[in-house]
A and B are shown apart, each in its own frame.
Chain A
Amino acid sequence: MQPEVFPLEIHDLTVAYNKRPVLYGVDLQVPAGKLIGIIGPNGAGKSTLIKAVMGAVPLMSGWIQIFGKPYKENLTRVGYVPQREMVDWDFPVSVMDVVLMGRYGRLGLCRRPGKADREIARDCLEKVQMLPYADRQISNLSGGQQQRVFLARALAQESDLYLMDEPFAGVDATTEAAIVTLLQDLKDRGKTILVVHHDLPTARSYFDMLLLINMHVVAFGPTEQTFTQELLQKTYGGRLTILSEVAQTVRGAE
């Protein structure tokens, strides 16, 4: 019998910045077709975990495999949504230009995006309800619209595993609803999505599974089994404000 191939498998991963480890001994086997929330306090290494998967930070130890292969050999099967603040939104490009960047990985060096790529980009913009803005320069967009452009770009990558760094941060209610629909849609099409998430109350309803981390994996499993006071307390340590928030959320759910 063949061993199961996971969309994302991490073995004994340790990542350090300036020799100070921020993630210790992470072991993870992410099953296919799940919508997974990555939850943890500030500085817990949530973004670092995503960056490690994308090969953007050096690993101190361990290995990461995407669909059974090292990341570099499976680039096109991974889509990425960075934090919105990471780029300069005054940059002289249109919404369409940004979404087309999602096609670059598939195009390879030197080749320009063609008609088919534009069609795909248009579809992706339609899915996030941003098609009317295709020819606008990106500086005219609101925060929520910017986030939807980034999502459209990730959709244009047509990947099987998506990594999203706080797509819900600072967006309006319309965008939040649009993102939730989109994530569900992706999941229904068999994609695996990992989402760094900050808001505990919504985490419970948005995700199938939760990955609780605080420099190491505290728990990973179905939401109903991991969203417990005990595990969340363990994740957030002794922080009173968060603890009380957790307590309330858990109580409200019971």
Chain B
Amino acid sequence: MKLGANRAGLGIFLLLLILSFANAEAARIGDIVETTPMEQAARFFSLSDKAVQLALAGSVLLGISCGLLGAFLVVRKMALVGDVLSHAVLPGVALGFLWGMTKNPVAILIGATAAGLLGTFTVSLITRTTRLKEDAALGLVLASFFAVGLCLMGMIQKLPTAEKSGLDKFMFGQAAAMSGADITLMSVVTILTCLLVIVFYKELLVISFDATFARTTGIPVRLLHEAFMLLLAFSVVIALQAVGVVLVSAMLITPAAAAYLLTDRMHRMLILSAIFGVLAGVAGAFFSFLGSNLPTGPFMVLAASTIFAGAFAFSPKHGVVPRWWRRRVKGDRIGRENTLKAIYQVLEAADFKSEGVTTAELAKHRHNTLETTLRDARKIARFKLVDFDDVRGVMRLTNEGWRQAKIIVRNHRLWELYLTSRANYQLDHVHDDAERMEHLLGEDTVRELERRLNFPQTDPHGRVIPSVRETTTSREP
């Protein structure tokens, strides 16, 4: 986490140069009169308003740069570093303001970047020279730098001469407070970020995954890391005005975290993260505008958090809802298979002489109430596993029902036999395990079991293991 101050200086100088040509006049939305939300929304999306254009452009730009760099922070487990960086910039913002007593973007950028880098440098200094671990150092630096910043900001508010309009926006963010000069600066930083990520994608990937290995292949790990940290500091600073010091780290972490849940390839994660960043930025700017310039930061972060909540709930692989659904589907299947097995056992007890099983017989066999049994019967009837005569309460297995019932009974008995004959289980210990395994054994495993057991006919209790021929479908657990 060490940063090259000389390289930081060069970067700032370049940005300064570009900025000296930019228009430093701030555009504001100060003339909003009473309008309906619909009219406001129309005004926002028609892009007719100069200030809206600026706010929107700024939100898109910060969404891209924060999304891209945040993705690397998340996979490198450096999320807290982003947090420290974003809080540590506050004293720099105040000092940058005090320098010229105006909200000069360049002075503020220099001050904020310097303070942010000083913060991350302090963290590495503490971890290198003391026994404290990184988490403690991060927490310490975050709070102390932020406190210094708050003191300075408080002092500035008390100054009578300060043209302080706009500085308070740095706390919670105001996209509408961005000027043309701000946007130019943001474009430069975002372009640099995109260039870094595209040109050095492969290097950043291997550094993030395995830095030691990266070093051994001759990749300039240190230099790239410093470039990354410098751009990260810039991205935080350019996002400050729109998102605010308090919440800016969320724009680094939240879109990236959502993307991390949705994909398991880095390049896709980067693209998703940038898209989520842009969506959150635009949504934040929009709602802030709708509410007549409410602070933008909270809205952006809320939008990002909503995206994250969506990913958390619905991500196909890791999402809570799909996982719950898969468990439910599996639970239902096991329930059906258990009912089929019980029917088979009732039929078996009667030497397969009768064709149907009544709900009363089944209820007695399973020690269940008649209601529960009726419900189970209807469930499997819905899957066409039995023909169920609701009036007489008689179930008749269909062909498919027979097949599945035989499979499950076969699995159960094979597994019991395997456990007793090959794994030296006691005969009275095997039933419970087989109750679970019968639903999990795939067709390939069953074949293997049959072969190892020399195609047995009966289970350890002496009951016949049903043979299931003409089964071609393999059953996934």
Contact = CB atoms under 8 A, between A and B. Distances in A.
B216 A104 contact: no
Nearest to B220: A109
Interface secondary structure of B, over-half rule: helix
Interface in B194-241: 199-203, 205-206, 208-210, 212-220
Interface string A62-90: 00000000001001101010100011100
Between B209, B263, B268, the greatest number of chain A beta carbons within 10 A of the residue's beta carbon is seen for B209
Q: How large is the interface on A (under 10, 10 to 19, 20 to 34, 35 or more residues)?
A: 20 to 34
A55 interface: yes
Given A105-B218, A109-B200, A109-B203, A80 B213 contact: yes
Nearest to A111: B202
A92 B264 contact: yes
Given A104-B202, A109-B200, A91 B208 contact: yes
A254 B214 CA distance: 45
A107 B218 CA distance: 11
B451 interface: no
B77 A54 contact: no
B269 A92 contact: yes
Contact of A75 (B209, B210, B217, B265): B217
A80 B216 contact: yes
A82 B202 CA distance: 19
Given A86-B210, A91-B208, A137-B264, A110 B216 contact: no
A216 B199 CA distance: 44
B203 A56 contact: no
Interface in B260-290: 260, 263-266, 268-269
Nearest to A106: B217
A78 to B, nearest CB: 7
A113 B202 contact: yes
B446 interface: no
Nearest to B71: A92
A237 to B, nearest CB: 29
Contacts of B75: 88, 91-92
Nearest to A100: B202
Contact of B217 (A104, A110, A137): A104
A139 interface: yes
B200 A110 contact: yes
Interface in A77-135: 78, 80, 82, 86-88, 91-94, 97-98, 101, 104-105, 107, 109-113
Contacts of B265: 92-94, 97, 137
Contacts of A98: 209
A157 B206 CA distance: 14
Interface in B110-162: none
B198 to A, nearest CB: 10
A91 B77 CA distance: 10
B217 A56 contact: no
Contact of A86 (B202, B206, B212, B220): B212
Nearest to B263: A92
Contact of A139 (B199, B209, B215, B264): B264
B455 to A, nearest CB: 28
Contacts of B264: 92, 94, 137, 139
B351 to A, nearest CB: 48
8 contacts: A56-B212, A56-B215, A88-B209, A92-B265, A93-B266, A104-B202, A105-B216, A111-B202
A-B interface, 5 closest residue pairs, ranked by CB to CB distance from nearest: A105-B217, A137-B264, A75-B218, A54-B216, A92-B264
Given A97-B266, A101-B217, 15 more contacts: A55-B215, A56-B212, A75-B216, A82-B210, A87-B210, A91-B209, A92-B75, A92-B263, A93-B265, A97-B265, A101-B209, A101-B210, A104-B202, A109-B203, A111-B202
